[in-house]
Structure 1
Amino acid sequence: MNGNNVSRRRFVQGAGLTGIAALLAACDGNQKPADGGSEAPADGGSEAAGNDLIIGLSYEPDTMNVYATHLLGDVQAMVVEGLLVPNAEMVYVPQLAKEVPTVENGLITMFDNGTMDITYNLREGVKWHDGEPLTSADVKITWETVKASDWESTDGCFDVDSIDCPDDLTVICHYNKQTPDFAQCLFTFGIMPKHIIENLDMADETNEYDNAPIGTGPYKFVEWKRGEYIRLEKNEDYWGDGPYMDSVTWRFIADENTRINMLKTGEINFTYGISYGNYDQVQNIPGTVCITHGLNSWRYLDFNCIKPGLDDVAVRRAISCAIDKQALVDQLFAGLPTPCDQPWMPSDPYHVEGFTSQWSYDPDKAKDLLEQAGWVEGADGVREKDGVKLDFIVGCATGRAEMESMQQVIIDDLKKVGIKCTAQTYDSAAWSSMMWDGEYDLGLGGYITSPGASRTLFWASDPDLGYLNRGKWFNPAFDEPSYKLDSEMDEGARQALVRECLAAFDDTLPQIVLYASTEIDVVTDRLQGFEPNPTNMTNFCMSAPWKLV
């Protein structure tokens, strides 16, 4: 185990993400009953009524451990809490901590040797679901356990050298570097109870905590009936406002049409991540509200920059100029997503307002770029140079309707400028492996991220830092400001460095950002207090105030 493990929780990526809920729906391990639905709990009745929220979830969790999961932590977010949490505006706010540490409030101390200390003051009176008090020892053992693991989410663990607990409510983290993005990982995902996990083999995925966790959240774990549902009930001793619902039941229903029908019959009263193609079906279901909202997520066309042809920046620029993003969004997705030219979404605090790529849609410019670079159209209409043809495979994972529909539109656009492409789909495991290993030409996929400026993980030239730089894009003009960004604490300077990174990104293009994703949620009109969360911490990380009226 080392400090270079990249977490899906921090940057959930997918060689084949469909709508964001289905982002997880099609992951391996989902269990779908023969009729496409799942049984309700014995006391749940046939309709979602009373003071019980019944959520139709498109996948089944692989574990209830927020650090070990390969998926997002939707269910877990109602049970387990972190020290901080990003709100609907993507601003970090206190959760189990009393305040967000900053230099200004004295809770972050910077040292001349490039290290820093962060102090967390814990809320008083917080209890675990079994009645034991939350203490600083819980925070420390969370760090120790995650650092020693081979779990998916170990981000931030290796930035901390040691933790002191001078009293039960004070945690002092000694960092070996200055990192402005400390809130994106580690203690934000969740705190684990020392009195439970110190007696368990946490490397054994069958351990009690991973399957029936004790948390501090507004809802307590009650039951997990595999292949059917997870049931939670209200935490009567919750430290904060709420909870106001008696129970929450998560029913595993992989098939989207089944979930929609169950909304109509009242068997569920909440689902999310409806595909764009089904938007018309869910806009006006009686007794529900349809909510569309932006996510900190984008869809991309990734380049293998060492592939002959694609190793020519003129070809990558021409491909960008050839793709009509607005027409793609309008034609395929009812205009719901927002065409975008940058990997900082409109929801992100570091989004560069007013930015337009110099390689925006312009097919004549695409042809000029190719001709000037010596790519000549052959008798078959495909351009070539020095024995290399611009003939590529556009790949994605099987069963991802959103991606598969984009394949043909992109193929048609590129054909008009003399670039031949063929659509190919692969099973999820194979495609994920191909993307990670760089065994692709053009790859369709998506990311959803936490709020933050850094994109080093995606495109740094140093392979120990650019974990997701699968297309082998190397640009020193990106590296220099990106590395500075990872340690710069001044907000104004960070904004300027983001602009430098974006200019380098747009100049030589490791990928084309196609659009900012929009999520479609359908909830009962009785639900009050629900605010969609655009981050990878999910819609459920601040569910305590929700009420059914």
Structure 2
Amino acid sequence: MSKIRMLRNTLDRRQLMGGAIAAMALGYAGSALGQSSPNPQKGGSLRVGIAGGGPIDSLDPHSPITPADIARVLNLYDGLGDDNEQAEYRPLLAEEFEVNPSATEWTIRIKQGAEFHNGKTIGADDVAYTIRRIIDPKNPRNAAPVMRSIDPAQIVKLDDRTIRLKLRRPDAALRDAFRILNTGVVPVDFDPKNPVGSGPFKLDQFVPGEQSTFKRFENYHGQAPYVDELVLIDLPDDVARVNALLGGQVHAIEGLPYSQIPVVSANSSFKVLTSKAGSFRPFTMRVDKPPFDDVRVRQALRLLVDREQLVKLAFSGHGRVAYDAYSPNDPCFDTSLVRERDVKEARSLLARAGHSNLQLELATTAAAPGLLEASQIFAEQAREGDVTINVKRLDQGGFFPEYTNWPFAVDYWTHNPYLNQVALGELATSPLNPTRFSDEEFTRLNDLARAELDQNRRCELVHQMQRISFERGGLIIWGYPDTIDAHSAQIGGLEPDLTGWGLNRYKFKKAYFVA
């Protein structure tokens, strides 16, 4: 029996056993939760189980690390913009973004009357301070790579609600930088130990590694939340998170294990929230290290991937096949890029590169659903091309300190607009570039695309960039996983969300209890 078949049988047995156990628990939980109606109610305490979290949990809006951090900052702070459920830009604190004809200046006007949690009106000084804090060269925050065009010395206050950014170079895509989740606006006297934001919830209590409690912000500039209180509980373990939902300790969880989807879907006391997101799960190859410094080796490994099988087994079918290109929900995504499996050609490429009977070590971790399974499956697939992949399984504490140093490893991303993703992960200046990909033509096209105001012309440039990554980049992108969450049928308001973040991008201001 092949290892692939053995793995499939193991997964199927695991799903069956897990489903049987969960069914009994669900029956008990269902009797306690009772029936629900679609009428939204105001009030109540919403308890949510979030993946990740630990003693280094943070409330800094510009440096979140884990999903628990991100869930907190998206509810505590608002930025100038945001993504809607279709992964499209929508304004939050910004009333208007205006760019000049040469894309060298942006004028930002702030929403009138918006307040911080301490009652202070949000003004131009706060936005200018926030941007400078993010791009501080001595301590650049997570979003700094997508704001490289901004000159901190040329942020000009025009009036109490308006600033003008004079750029170092043209950047027609700069508005998209302010829809990234770690760009929340903070006051000029911001203290991360005593955080003040302008989001729909204000902080009540915070215990790192355990839970955070928030109260509804009554003076929120948008529609105020329905619930009185939000409690986010760190539950990094899948089993603990599911048990908390089934036992009634929480009303919603992110990251529902694939094995539990049929069981939860069949029980009227719970609902499964599925989003066809733009997340992706690549294998990363360092192009500056042998054997991956030879493009023929990178091409060969891409040809050895059975993408349909990986999606079927690693995602239990809950995802889409990918062909080595990211940001599938971006309006400029090139759908013509397709790569079929070709073991014969892969062997030929490896032989010409002098790497027949290649042996590799793949560093992997359970940081996202399907990563461990995908590593094992790909190792078996590669054997057909006379490639031996030894899977090195690490816990997250052992994997992430060497995140950009592994020669061959796994990775995971949620959706970003294409040019934002490039800035974060595929340029020489990108802080999260585990492949060390650095291509002069690609970089030149990126600069042209960012300067281009015409959408059609920008898409043409993006297509050329995607072709370069497809042909000689360092990412093997084999699948776009669905985002799978679950919540009690007592909860309404949460919708599918294409960004890839859990539970409607943690937009708990929309959640409510139903009668």
* Superposed pair shares fold, TM > 0.5: yes
Aligned to 1:159: 150
Q: Could you say if the C-alpha distance between residues 479 and 279 of structure 1 is closer, same or farther in structure 2, counting changes exceeding 3 Å? A: same
Q: Could you say if the C-alpha distance between residues 262 and 125 of structure 1 is closer, same or farther in structure 2, counting changes exceeding 3 Å? A: same
Deviations 1:390-432 (A, max 9, x none): 1111221367673222222111111111112211123434433
Q: Could you say if the C-alpha distance between residues 193 and 537 of structure 1 is closer, same or farther in structure 2, counting changes exceeding 3 Å? A: farther
Does the CA-based 8 Å contact 2:134-2:141 persist in structure 1? no
Does the CA-based 8 Å contact 2:33-2:490 persist in structure 1? no
Sequence identity of aligned pairs in percent? 20
Aligned to 1:109: 100
Task: Verify: 1:71 aligned to 2:63, yes or no.
Answer: no
Deviations 1:118-176 (A, max 9, x none): 22222222122222222222112222333446253251266134222232222222222
SS at match of 1:164: strand
Does the CA-based 8 Å contact 2:238-2:255 persist in structure 1? no
Aligned to 1:232: 214
Aligned to 2:19: none
Aligned to 1:445: 411
Which of 190, 193, 201 pairs up with 2:187?
193
Task: Verify: 1:288 aligned to 2:261, yes or no.
Answer: no
Aligned to 2:124: 136
Does the CA-based 8 Å contact 1:294-1:347 persist in structure 2? no
Task: Verify: 1:428 aligned to 2:396, yes or no.
Answer: yes
Question: What is the distance in 2 between the residues matched to 1:370 and 1:342?
Answer: 19
Deviations 1:490-547 (A, max 9, x none): 2111111111112222222422111112211112323333234433776346443433
Deviations 1:203-223 (A, max 9, x none): xxxxxx324422222211111
* Cα distance, 1:47 vs structure 2: 8.7
SS at match of 2:412: strand
Deviations 1:245-294 (A, max 9, x none): 11111112222212212212222111112233443443334422101113
Identify, as 1 or 2, the structure richer in helix.
Answer: 2
1:319-338 matched pairs, under 5 angstroms? 319-338=301-320
* Cα distance, 1:485 vs structure 2: 1.9
- The one-letter amino acid paired with 1:80 is Y
- The one-letter amino acid paired with 1:479 is T
Does the CA-based 8 Å contact 2:269-2:488 persist in structure 1? yes
Task: Verify: 1:390 aligned to 2:370, yes or no.
Answer: no
Question: What is the distance in 2 between the residues matched to 1:368 and 1:152?
Answer: 44
SS at match of 2:212: strand
Aligned to 1:20: none
Question: What is the distance in 2 between the residues matched to 1:270 and 1:484?
Answer: 44
1:349-388 matched pairs, under 5 angstroms? 349-357=331-339, 360-371=340-351, 373=352, 384=356
- The one-letter amino acid paired with 2:199 is G
Q: Could you say if the C-alpha distance between residues 345 and 185 of structure 1 is closer, same or farther in structure 2, counting changes exceeding 3 Å? A: closer
Aligned to 2:476: 512
- The one-letter amino acid paired with 1:74 is A
Task: Verify: 1:418 aligned to 2:386, yes or no.
Answer: yes
Task: Verify: 1:402 aligned to 2:370, yes or no.
Answer: yes
Q: Could you say if the C-alpha distance between residues 190 and 320 of structure 1 is closer, same or farther in structure 2, counting changes exceeding 3 Å? A: same
Out of 57-66 and 153-162, give the one that drifted further.
153-162
- The one-letter amino acid paired with 1:58 is A
* Cα distance, 1:472 vs structure 2: 4.1
Q: Could you say if the C-alpha distance between residues 177 and 285 of structure 1 is closer, same or farther in structure 2, counting changes exceeding 3 Å? A: farther
Question: What is the distance in 1 between the residues matched to 2:251 and 2:324?
Answer: 36
Q: Could you say if the C-alpha distance between residues 473 and 145 of structure 1 is closer, same or farther in structure 2, counting changes exceeding 3 Å? A: closer
Deviations 1:177-234 (A, max 9, x none): 221332343585211123x42xxxxxxxxxxx32442222221111113443211111
Aligned to 1:88: 85
Out of 283-292 and 157-166, give the one that drifted further.
157-166
Task: Verify: 1:479 aligned to 2:443, yes or no.
Answer: yes
Q: Could you say if the C-alpha distance between residues 128 and 312 of structure 1 is closer, same or farther in structure 2, counting changes exceeding 3 Å? A: closer
Which of 121, 126, 144 pairs up with 2:114?
126
Structure 2 regions of 5+ residues with no counterpart?
1-31, 35-40
Structure 1 regions of 5+ residues with no counterpart?
1-45, 102-106, 198-208, 376-382
Q: Could you say if the C-alpha distance between residues 76 and 284 of structure 1 is closer, same or farther in structure 2, counting changes exceeding 3 Å? A: farther
Q: Could you say if the C-alpha distance between residues 65 and 137 of structure 1 is closer, same or farther in structure 2, counting changes exceeding 3 Å? A: same
Does the CA-based 8 Å contact 2:325-2:469 persist in structure 1? no
Question: What is the distance in 1 between the residues matched to 2:245 and 2:50?
Answer: 12
